[in-house]
């Protein structure tokens, strides 16, 4: 790790190479566009970084170090709290990562989807993101190529199984026309380069001579530059970033919702990825460090809200220490929309016991019924839902 006070960044820039474009033959577009598509297009040639020297300005290294200390401190604080914060923060990170891609849903719809009571497509995609981020954490002790494929598979196996389980075998591009890559804002490398580039990325991710946050930020930017899958690269890449933070020991207990920090200025995040490709690694390190500070501020608010509600519920609900109602209260903190079947299955109690607990919580004002009638009833904990939605609103506050 080298400090350079005179140069903003010393990092190999992405090159480009020409490739012929083969038309499908059934395009519906103007003659001008069809003629343009007869020419070669330029695809990225990312540098190999496994052994690249990481040279950053002193102020960038100091910023990353400060952010790393705050991440570790927040992770340690959250690890001492009895509430089910790992699940709460995992869901918050996944919802924020999805929102970067304009996949948005309320906390209620996500919770309804978890118990099979919603048909919201966006909520399903957010839950798939939860599975992908959880896979990244679970596989963080061995972040090899197959682990990254497994993370992506967890994301898309239900909604786009044709894309999961392997690297892409076609050219992809970002922006421009859906017909060809000629007018794209960025064209990732030709698919034949992907396996070698991903092997190189994994080798970089395994290095022990680069500070964890800096390594994770650079690995994330390199992943997004390679764009190894036909779809889901942004969400998989941010899950991979979480895996890197856990792999390096910067987080040990919870998923710090860094994506919620990136959400505060997505234009700056995308600019940082572009600057990385131009040879300025400090841009993405700065973006991830600043996002970490914002995520921690927002995450602490959410943790405080959840703890406050948990304590209030303890005062509102009076029951024997061995009563199922206490376990249901704890369950509601991470699953704020329920029915008796899901409670019984999750807590391994009878549906009668689950209904008795629900009735006590309704009487205490913790739960309200969100459906009408007495069949297929669903209850919600509105205060938890409000806290989760407030977290999301804070993450996007100030965006243009």
Residues of the chain short of pLDDT 50, as ranges, are 400
| Six token digits for residue 185 | 């804002």
Q: What domains can be seen in the chain, in order of their start residue?
A: 2-301 (1.10.3290.10), 318-391 (1.10.10.10)
Tell me, what's the pLDDT at 177? 85
Angle at 72 between CA 66 and CA 74, to 5 degrees: 100
CB 331 within 8 A of CB 347: yes
Reported pTM: 0.93
Sign of CA dihedral 226, 228, 229, 230: positive
Tell me, what's the pLDDT at 342? 96
40: left (phi over 0), alpha (psi -120 to 50) or beta: beta
For the chain, what is the mean pLDDT?
93
Tell me, what's the pLDDT at 375? 80
Tell me, what's the pLDDT at 83? 81
């Amino acid at each position: 790790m080298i400090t350079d006070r005179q140069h903003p960044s010393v990092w190999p820039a992405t090159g480009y190479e020409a490739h012929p474009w083969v038309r499908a033959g059934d395009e519906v577009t103007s003659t001008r566009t069809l003629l343009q598509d007869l020419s070669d297009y330029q695809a990225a040639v990312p540098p190999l970084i496994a052994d690249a020297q990481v040279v950053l300005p002193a102020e960038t290294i100091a910023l990353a170090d400060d952010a790393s200390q705050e991440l570790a401190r927040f992770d340690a604080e959250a690890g001492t709290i009895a509430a089910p914060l790992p699940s709460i923060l995992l869901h918050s990170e996944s919802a924020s990562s999805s929102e970067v891609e304009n996949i948005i849903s309320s906390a209620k719809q996500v919770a309804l989807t978890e118990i099979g009571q919603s048909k919201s497509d966006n909520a399903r995609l957010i839950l798939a993101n939860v599975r992908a981020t959880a896979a990244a954490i679970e596989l963080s002790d061995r972040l090899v190529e197959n682990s990254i494929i497994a993370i992506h598979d967890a994301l898309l196996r239900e909604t786009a199984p044709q894309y999961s389980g392997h690297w892409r075998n076609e050219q992809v591009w970002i922006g421009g026309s859906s017909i060809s890559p000629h007018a794209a804002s960025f064209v990732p490398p030709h698919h034949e380069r992907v396996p070698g580039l991903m092997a190189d990325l994994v080798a970089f991710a395994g290095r022990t001579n680069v500070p964890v946050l800096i390594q994770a930020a650079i690995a994330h930017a390199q992943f997004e530059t390679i764009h190894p899958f036909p779809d889901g690269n942004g969400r998989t890449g941010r899950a991979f970033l979480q895996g890197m933070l856990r792999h390096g020991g910067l987080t040990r207990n919870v998923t710090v919702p860094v994506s919620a920090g990136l959400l505060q200025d997505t234009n700056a995040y995308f600019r940082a990825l572009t600057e990385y490709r131009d040879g300025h690694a400090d841009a993405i390190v700065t973006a991830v460090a600043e996002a970490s500070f914002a995520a921690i501020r927002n995450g602490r608010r959410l943790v405080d809200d959840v703890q406050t509600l948990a304590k209030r519920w303890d005062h509102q609900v009076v029951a024997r220490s061995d009563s199922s109602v206490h376990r249901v209260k704890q369950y509601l903190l991470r699953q704020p929309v329920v029915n008796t079947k899901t409670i019984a299955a999750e807590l391994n109690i009878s549906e009668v016991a689950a209904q008795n607990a629900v009735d006590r919580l309704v009487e205490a004002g913790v739960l309200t019924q969100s459906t009408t009638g007495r069949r297929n009833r669903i209850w919600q904990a509105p205060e938890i839902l409000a806290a989760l939605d407030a977290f999301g609103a804070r993450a996007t506050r100030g965006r243009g």
